Amino acid sequence: MKILAVSDQVIDRMYTLAPRGHFQSVGLILGCGDLPYSYLEYIVTMLNVPMYYVPGNHDPEFNLQDKRSRAEGGSNLDLQTASHENILIGGFGGCIRYRPDGINQYTQSQAYLRAFQMLPKLLINRIKYGRALDILISHSPPFKVHDDIFDPAHHGLKALNWLNRIARPRYHVHGHTHFYRNNLETQETMIGSTKIINVYPYKILEL
Ligand SMILES: [Zn+2]
């Protein structure tokens, strides 16, 4: 299955490519955060396939009562797992806390506590399917993988390294780190059996 993963930056070309059937063979959309929900809603409407996403630090706080806090037609997968055509997906929103009043920001310890909340779901998957996850989607990168140790807003989360060790997904797709010197920065890193991919601003995966 082809999977379209998007993150952090609206691609204007999407508005011309999608109507021309450029992403016709895509069977699943993954959103890694910091994108206007209207953009996600446009993509899901055009491609008409399931969409799972996690919020980033520039997204509003999720509130079931408030339509503006979610993308219609998609599922907020923050701390949740889902199964689509036998592909097991887990989600982890937000990034490192760099402002005391920041939304969807967590200290390293808070991020660990959030990751622990996913354990029961991962365990059930392992019992039911023989594996915990195929794809982990997050906004933040893991610690020291595609992150920026010189910028407090772009430190990776250690809880994500831990989640990858526990869940062993085939892919971990994330956003948050932008490229300024295209092609010079590493966008894909293999750690254990997990390929970690920075999807900024979009990537096509084949599973
Ligand atoms: Zn971000």
Centre of ligand 1 to C-alpha 57, Å, is: 5
User: pLDDT, tens digit, for every residue of 134-162?
Assistant: 999 999 999 999 999 889 999 999 999 99
Centre of ligand 1 to C-alpha 94, Å, is: 7
Centre of ligand 1 to C-alpha 4, Å, is: 19
Local structure of 156: helix, strand or coil: coil
Local structure of 13: helix, strand or coil: coil
Neighbours of 64 (CB within 10 A): 8
Centre of ligand 1 to C-alpha 7, Å, is: 9
Residues 36 and 75: their CA atoms lie apart, in Å, by: 15
Q: Do residues 89 and 77 lie in contact, with contact meaning Cβ atoms separated by under 8 Å?
A: yes
pLDDT reading at 100 higher than 70:
yes
| Sign of the Cα pseudo-torsion (181, 103, 155, 115, in order) | negative
Mean pLDDT of 100-104: 94
User: pLDDT, tens digit, for every residue of 171-193?
Assistant: 999 999 987 655 557 899 999 99
Centre of ligand 1 to C-alpha 55, Å, is: 9
Tell me what percent of the residues of the chain surpass a pLDDT of 90.
84
